[in-house]
Amino acid sequence: MPLLNVEIKARYNDPDFMRRYLLEDGADFKGVDQQTDTYFNVLHGRLKLRQGIIENNLIYYERSNQAGPKSSHFQLVAVPDADALKEILSASLGIKIIVQKKREIYFIGNVKFHIDEVPGLGSFAEIEASNKYADLPKEKLQEQCDFYMRELKIKDEDLISVSYSDLLLSKLV
């Protein structure tokens, strides 16, 4: 069953402020993950295999490229043998691009926060208000995302409309 995120991604140069805010607000710190996201060639949406210490999932999602909070419909499957799945998907679909990042993961209720460092791209913050963890309508998820954007002092001009994969691919052209 597809789930819904209302999410933002932004360039973010003050991860210490974000860490302090989240911890003072009672966020649940899940840890730091070294993640490799392998994007595969698909006809529609995006298909990526996330490999890390904390998260190992196959993720399919459809999302428009826009700078502000955007809806993302996604499906996620936990993957116990990511290396074998990567081999099969690579052979059958081909790899579009691989994104490596260091990611800090926090939760406040149904809202997930990331502080990311992506080699070659820089520092980023992500906010994902999801109905995966609570049965909330899109409007409430939007309110949550907007609230935390203000609280974390994320400016409109820092919002990113595309994924890390798109940013890296644009550097290759």
Delimit the domains of the chain by residue range. Answer: 3-172
Strand-pair partners of 74: 3, 61
Return the percentage of the chain with pLDDT > 90, whole number: 85
Whether the per-residue pLDDT at 89 is higher than 70: the answer is: yes
**Chain CA centroid to CA 93, Å:** 22
Whether the per-residue pLDDT at 46 is higher than 70: the answer is: yes
- Fold exhibited by the domain 3-172: Hypothetical Protein Pfu-838710-001 (2.40.320)
Whether the per-residue pLDDT at 1 is higher than 70: the answer is: no
Q: What region, left, alpha or beta, does residue 109 occupy, with left being phi > 0 and alpha being psi -120 to 50 degrees?
A: left
